[in-house]
Amino acid sequence: MTSTSFEAARTAIVAVGRWLDGKGWAPATSGNYSARLDDGGFAVTVSGRHKGRLTPDDVMRVDADGASLDGKKPSAETALHLALYRAFPDVGAVLHSHSPTAVGLSRAVAGEGYRLAGHEMLKALPGIATHDITVTLPIVENSQDMAVVETAIAPRLLESGAIPAYLIRSHGLYGWGCDMAEAERVIEAIEWMIAAELAERSFR
């Protein structure tokens, strides 16, 4: 697990917001990002802020229950971030992207997951050292009630061989890591593989 100071977390979250927006993965005010703090709390993005134009004032503190510690309003999906921190004590950062390819894949395929196999990019995911492997990217149904999403995804995350990512259908991608750099790498690798899968389908 990597925890960090609030000041360092704000700097990292502002930077990752600009990076994700530059990729086209944070349209309008979508997406939310967080980091585990060394005081036991969490830094999260303030609700409704454009992620490509974040400032340090757009990052706030919440406690382990998601309650605001500075009077600002946290992202509506803070509960999903906190569920990951509770389930995985080694997680230090969580990112939520909204690329058109990830959302498109989640809408185009049926079922509770999508298999990724044979990609060299699989080696970017923690614990994977070969392309010669098949993993499943879980897909759960969307809901405005975060407790419904959390209940649906929780058992999938604890399955043997689970990867640190999942899709919410018609919504977007969650990815996480021991620190912000690893969370970024997970999001970028999954997004790249989704784009490659859709490109392959277009040639069939």
Query: Tell me: the pLDDT tens digits for 18-48?
Result: 999 999 999 998 999 999 999 999 999 999 9
Q: Is residue 97 part of a domain?
A: yes
Please say whether the beta carbons of 193 and 122 come within 8 A.
Answer: yes
What dihedral do alpha carbons 51, 104, 131, 87 form, nearest 10°? 60
| 128 vs 71: CA distance, rounded Å | 41
Residue in 23, 27, 32, 36 with CA at minimum distance from that of residue 180: 36
Number of domains in the chain: 1
Res. 2: pLDDT tops 80: no
For 59-81, the pLDDT digits (tens) are: 999 999 999 999 999 988 999 99
pLDDT of 1 > 80? The answer is no
Binding positions are 96, 98
Does 107 map to a domain?
yes
Give this prediction's pTM.
Answer: 0.95
Binding residues for Zn(2+): 96, 98
Burial of 170 (0-12, 13-18, 19+ CB in 10 A): exposed
Q: Tell me whether residue 1 is in a domain.
A: no
> Domain span at residue 163?
6-203
pLDDT in tens, 74-130: 988 999 999 999 999 999 999 999 999 999 999 999 999 999 999 999 999 999 999
Place of tokens 């979508």: 30
The predicted-structure confidence for 129-171, as pLDDT tens digits, reads as follows 999 999 999 999 999 999 999 999 999 998 888 999 999 999 9
CATH number at residue 192: 3.40.225.10
